[in-house]
Structure 1
């Protein structure tokens, strides 16, 4: 794209700033943009926040006494960044304690490398680090109390064959004279991996609605296309968050190149979710007139609002049979791949922000760098580039 929407720029800057070991070149490659473009966005965002400093600045030769010193500093910085990345991949970072671990990392190595330098590498403010350091005695006391309560919770949990969750354990504690807040019990159970038996809640993203419109199945389970920008599939999937809430992702996928041409994330499943995904595809492609968009019979896709948008963009709607996931298997497969490769065995993301940035990064890498088996192990963007070299247009069939 020559013109990127503000949301893309904002997410690109947030992705770079949320990954201490990342480089502008690396993040730019993930997103399919040049280093200079990303550097300009970061600079503009920092100026808007009133911050100074050039994005990606490294110590200069004059800062440390010559080129040899600079090389040594860069080598040490690289080693420190590798250690930060190792921490990010560990179980504690995955629980959402990334900021705490950065503080701990600075505290552990401050005597060797200095607080100022380490804070710059891991991306935290020195004032925040010193505030965290001064609160260490209070944290230690709170941890001691949490551990004592965790032992009581474990005892109650074992007494009831591991079936009690936080509501029943809270009631049991109160009956035994321990006045405790349920939220604190939930937090401690989560921190100490004490889990009660519960049925997994099924999240329905396909909510049918009798709209009276008859939309034919134009694909008949043939999820292929001879040229890009002719046939698309789309679906809604949920993104689980650790606090029990969900975000929802809507997709628009090209069946020729498997490119994720458009997508949208919100905290609701209203028609605006799927409408914005289709608009994003239209912005990416420039035009969609004559293209087929295939979906399930969800209320969002069956709505009058979505039908009007399709008419406005020149898109021809197609829908599979009611209740048949096989009629939209390509979109279902994409959703499964996304969750498998982003969650990597976890059941949820720590926060909604984590989910947004992880999906943003994965979706961008999916288009620009991830090799696809159906494309001869090429990325969708590479496949389309090769296609353009042998074809004069990327326009849909009339």
Structure 2
């Protein structure tokens, strides 16, 4: 079964189809974007329903229904946790250790996250207990950590001495030095204790530079490059995060947003994986921007089994192949005219990428073929399906 197209890609295709020029058919737009005409007609019908121009159940209604069902299931799980915990703790002959109950509920299908949130437990001590038998010292350590965590969550302004006082008043005795060590290991500090420098420097790299300016690949999905560009409109700035396959120079995924947050890079990565499929072991190279060093982006790389790579600070040549694409985009689209709205610029960007750059612009490094033609010629049928 083929993978579904990313939501952002479908919206962009519908925008282009709705704003097509005179004489341009829906079938031609579908061919430009590499989708079936019937599929595009379905997307446009769904967009009309969502806009209220046609009757039917909108995507928002369906999403609300799914969210309501998810919330009901979560409430049922939370009620089951409270019921089982009350029955477990009421048995006087059992030791008052809650972690076995968390494990038992997890076996029954209730996630550990839900159980720990309802019982106000930290998950880290539970997973340590699950890996090896818990000694009395380790259990005491977890109890102290829970007491400090509860105090820190209620009053983030407190330093470790105040947290120790709160923990002792809650019945978990410990020395100030012990409280400092636990807070240090878990990075629980007062919000007033952080030192702020005047000049914000680039953060440390989360990955090594695995590319070292060697922008070559022996096949698709071996080496990807990514970066973020921006352009001003009368409504405000529009940001584009694009991912380029070095093998065919094709833009395998992109995302466009009004904010340059980590979600922009994560959305572009998810769109690329959804369109390409087999990406295990692929290297994704970027600069040292905060979006590509964020925890959300690193977790997304791990989830898709993609290897991260980061260049040096202030070295534009470390990502020159991606910069060359943005230079083409700048000359062919962004600087051609002034843009009144973000919507207008967005349509122009996706149209140029999917119609012109992918399917009409021949490149000398590809043997005077377009990126789509090059992939068709140089890859096997199995890889073409990706």
Query: Residue in 2 aligned with 1:335?
Result: 326
Query: Does the 8 Å contact 2:232/2:238 carry over to 1?
Result: yes
Is this contact kept in 2: 1:287–1:395, CA < 8 A? no
Q: CA deviation at 1:394?
A: 7.2
Match of 1:6 in 2: 7
Which residue is equivalent to 1:372? 363
Q: Which residue of 2 aligns with 1:68?
A: none
Counterpart residue number, 1:15 = 16
8 Å contact from structure 2 (residues 3, 275) kept in 1: no
Q: Which residue of 1 aligns with 2:275?
A: 284
Confirm or deny: 8 A CA contact 1:287 1:313 kept in the other structure.
no
The whole-number CA distance in structure 2 between the counterparts of 1:344 and 1:270 is: 24
Q: How much has 1:357 moved relative to structure 2?
A: 0.9
Matched, 1:356 2:346: yes
RMSD: 2.5
Report the counterpart of residue 325 of structure 1 in structure 2: 316
Unaligned regions of 5+ residues in structure 2, if any?
A: 55-199
Report the secondary structure of 2:379's partner residue: helix
1:250 matched to 2:231: no
Partner of 2:223: 231
Contact 2:254–2:271 under 8 Å retained in 1: yes
Q: Tell me, in whole angstroms, the C-alpha distance in 1 between the residues paired with 2:287 and 2:43.
A: 38
Structure 1 equivalent of residue 145 of structure 2: none
Aligned pair count reads 238
Q: Report the CA distance between 1:392 and its aligned residue.
A: 5.7
Instruction: Write the mapping of 1:61-210 to structure 2, written as runs, cut at 5 A.
Output: 209-210=202-203
What TM-score comes out, normalization by structure 1 length?
A: 0.55
- Determine the structure 2 residue equivalent to 1:385: 376
Aligned equivalent of 2:259, options 261, 264, 268: 268
Gaps of 5+ in 1: 53-206
On the 8 A contact 1:208/1:299 being kept in 2, the answer is no
Query: How far off its partner does 1:378 sit?
Result: 1.7
Asked if 1 retains the 8 angstrom alpha-carbon contact of 2:253 and 2:269, the reply is yes
Specify the alignment match of 2:47 in structure 1.
Answer: 45
Matches of 1:262 and 1:274, distance apart in 2: 10
Deviations 1:144-171 (A, max 9, x none): xxxxxxxxxxxxxxxxxxxxxxxxxxxx
How big is the shift at 1:225?
Answer: 0.6
Q: Retained in 2: the 8 A contact 1:32–1:368?
A: no
Moved more, 10-19 or 248-257: 10-19
Whole-Å separation in 2 of the counterparts to 1:5 and 1:320: 28
CA distance in 2, matches of 1:332, 1:305: 24
Does the 8 Å contact 1:229/1:395 carry over to 2?
Answer: no
Q: d(CA) in 1 for partners of 2:371 and 2:11?
A: 24
Taking the aligned partners of 1:307 and 1:10, their CA distance within structure 2 comes to: 27
1:26-62 deviation line (CA, Å, top 9, x unaligned): 211221122332233334434555657xxxxxxxxxx
Contact 1:208–1:297 (8 Å) recurs in 2: no
Does 2:308 align with 1:307?
no
Cα 1:393–1:356, aligned 2, differ >3 Å: closer, same or farther? closer
Structure 1 CA distance for aligned equivalents of residues 48 and 385 of structure 2: 39
User: Paired residue for 1:81?
Assistant: none
